[in-house]
Amino acid sequence: MDNTCDICHHTTGADRYLCEACEYRARSWLTGLPRQAELLRDCLEPTVGPAQRGGSGRAHSPLPVDLRVLDLLGPGRPVPLDDPHGDQTAGVPINALLTGWAHYIATDVPIVYTDLGGVLRTGAYLHAAAVPRSGTGITAWSTWLARHLPYAVTRPYAAEFYEQLQHLQDRIQRITDARPGRRHKQAPCPGCQAFALIEQDGELHIACDACGHRLTAAEYTEHRNQVMPALTALALRMITPRRTAAA
């Protein structure tokens, strides 16, 4: 195992397959799922209303529910069915995906026990099932998974778990259109000098849209305090002669 993140290829700890930033993002997705499910329920009924002038019309009669939402909120199998002819468009529902991963991780979590001879040993549950304390809903499973994420990121399947959560997130956002908030930062990027540093909800770092450079909030504050006074002074000097000439 090398020490680069399987997702973003930044350097990370030797025992990890995902870096802290990707773990943070995955945790944000998991903890945000209960809210996303609420938004999806609001989108269950397709928008209905009088035909709009200039609209392109429908190729079929309107359905009483949005099937994409049912696909996400309904029951289902934790893995997609074999689909050699590409007939299925839907992916795995939220709850089935979370349940499948929780049980998979539960079987993989090591246990420490004392054998009959009194020797301390480690092993795996192998046949364990995850049992969230608060039930079997989306909130319960996403909480269970968020709590076990620090372990999951040290396992070889971490990137697959991350990518399936990301795919789920994309499917939800295509329906709800609820994108994470993005804010432009004032100071230029220390890596490429572009004014492209972005702070985004659910992200550990402030990252540059131009070159991918990333800073923690504390590093950004220190950087801004170093560069902004000089930049502000330069901007003022550029404005001042024009005012003198105009006077």
Rounded distance between C-alpha atoms, residue 247 and residue 86, angstroms = 73
Task: Choose which of 106, 145, 189, 215 interacts with Zn ion (CB under 5 A).
Answer: 189
Closest Cα to residue 138, out of 31, 45, 43?
Answer: 31
Rounded distance between C-alpha atoms, residue 82 and residue 48, angstroms = 34
Interface with Zn ion (CB under 5 A), residue total: 12
Q: Does 103 bind Zn ion (CB under 5 A)?
A: no
| Shortest distance in whole angstroms from residue 181 CB to Zn ion | 21
Touching Zn ion, residues 211-240 (CB under 5 A):
211, 213
Tokens of 237: 């000097």
Contact between residue 194 and residue 211 where contact means Cβ atoms under 8 Å apart? yes
Q: Does 137 bind Zn ion (CB under 5 A)?
A: no
| Shortest distance in whole angstroms from residue 159 CB to Zn ion | 9
Letter for the amino acid at 215?
A: L
Task: Choose which of 90, 191, 198, 227 interacts with Zn ion (CB under 5 A).
Answer: 191
Rounded distance between C-alpha atoms, residue 95 and residue 224, angstroms = 43
Q: Does 96 bind Zn ion (CB under 5 A)?
A: no
Longest dimension (CA), the chain: 95
CB-nearer residue toward Zn ion: 178 or 210: 210
Q: Which residues bind Zn ion (CB under 5 A)?
A: 5, 7-8, 19, 22, 189, 191-192, 208, 210-211, 213
